[in-house]
Structure 1
Amino acid sequence: MPLASAPSDLPDLETTLSMSGLAFMQAIKTGNLPEPAMWGTAQCHLHSVASGEVVIRATPQFQHTNPAGAVHGGWYGTLLDTCMSCAVMTVTPKGSVYTTLEYKVNLVFAIPVGTTILATGTIAHSGRSTGVALGEIRDAESGKLYATGSATCLIMKHR
């Protein structure tokens, strides 16, 4: 089966490289650049962005559950990878991009379907070639901790 082509409104590499990572993430927040397609699948949105921190807001639905009816661990992983790697993106200089090298997820409690959460990624280290971020998923109202994570990203300078 052939891969689907990307919609024409997605930024190309030249657009990405012309901005700092923080400016790129802010452009997504303001709607000047589209949210990544995967965010539609996970039904998450950029809640806030600052240098070294990204917060994603989401509410798991039935389609995010496993065969037992609980929110799938992959959904937790997707949200944590997103907030942590995007936090790394906020500290990448103009002309650079990142990719996740590895991430770890620790599930603490089950998220009830329909519960709005905030997934927060925060920079722990940013260097020339790597960035490390920590993440948490918490209930948006009560602050209850549902999961934690850590990620290492490769920062690649193209220019």
Structure 2
Amino acid sequence: MLRSSSSYEKRRDMTELDQAQQKTITWVDPRPQAAAALTMSGLDYLQAMIDGTFPAPPIASHINLELVTVSPGVAEMAATPDESHYNPIGSVHGGFAATLLDSVCGCAVQTTLPAGKAYTSLDLSVSFLRGMTSETGRVTAQGRVTKPGSRAAFVEADIKDAAGRVLATATSTCLVFTP
């Protein structure tokens, strides 16, 4: 007879080499600034975020994300993977790269939007080229709008390590709309 055991029964005592760690996530309610974003161009809004006028979005705390630079049709972000981003096989989960790529693609589209317009991701196709660990260090992602539009925008992006090696690439389509 097979016997299932609960996660509590599967727990083991932690040794000195297996200590639990904690990460505190802090954020500001993003809804008021999202409303303010509609009163300005997307480029101006993102630049205000870089300048500190607006706080970073809540997702930034989860993956150590920083919006670095923006220009029309282009956004650059950086993030630093750590052990809290690991999957069960001991490397950074693909969701870390996907989240970074989705974010930089969306922000690249946002740089093209006039006041009163918004966007949302319709699709994201990610290719993982190299693995990441906490030793990878800070990575940078750049999103580039390949075709802006009044209803849909098309974007490509990549993530590189400090040595300039491409770790992952993505393409995305974003819906452009009036909220």
TM-score (norm 2): 0.80
Q: Decide whether the 8 Å contact of 1:18 with 1:95 is kept in 2.
A: yes
Hey, what's the Cα distance between the residues in 2 that align with 1:9 and 1:145?
A: 31
Over the matched positions of the two proteins, sequence identity in percent amounts to 33
Hey, what's the Cα distance between the residues in 2 that align with 1:132 and 1:8?
A: 29
Deviation >4 Å, runs of 4+: none
Is 1:20–2:41 an aligned residue pair? yes
Hey, what's the Cα distance between the residues in 2 that align with 1:8 and 1:83?
A: 21
User: Which of the numbers 62, 66, 83 marks the counterpart of 1:41?
Assistant: 62
Hey, what's the Cα distance between the residues in 2 that align with 1:8 and 1:81?
A: 21
Which has more strand, going by share of residues? 1
Structure 1 residue runs of 5 or longer lacking an equivalent are: 1-5
Corresponding residue for residue 75 of structure 2: 54
Task: Return the structure number with greater relative CO, CA threshold 8 A, min gap 6.
Answer: 1
Structure 2 residue runs of 5 or longer lacking an equivalent are: 1-26
Is 1:132–2:150 an aligned residue pair? no
Corresponding residue for residue 140 of structure 2: 118
Task: Quote how far apart the aligned CAs of 1:138 are.
Answer: 0.3
Considering only aligned residues, what root-mean-square deviation do their CA atoms show, in Å?
1.5
Q: Decide whether the 8 Å contact of 1:11 with 1:33 is kept in 2.
A: no
Code of the residue aligned with 2:110 in structure 1: it is M
Hey, what's the Cα distance between the residues in 2 that align with 1:107 and 1:125?
A: 23
Higher radius of gyration, 1 or 2: 2
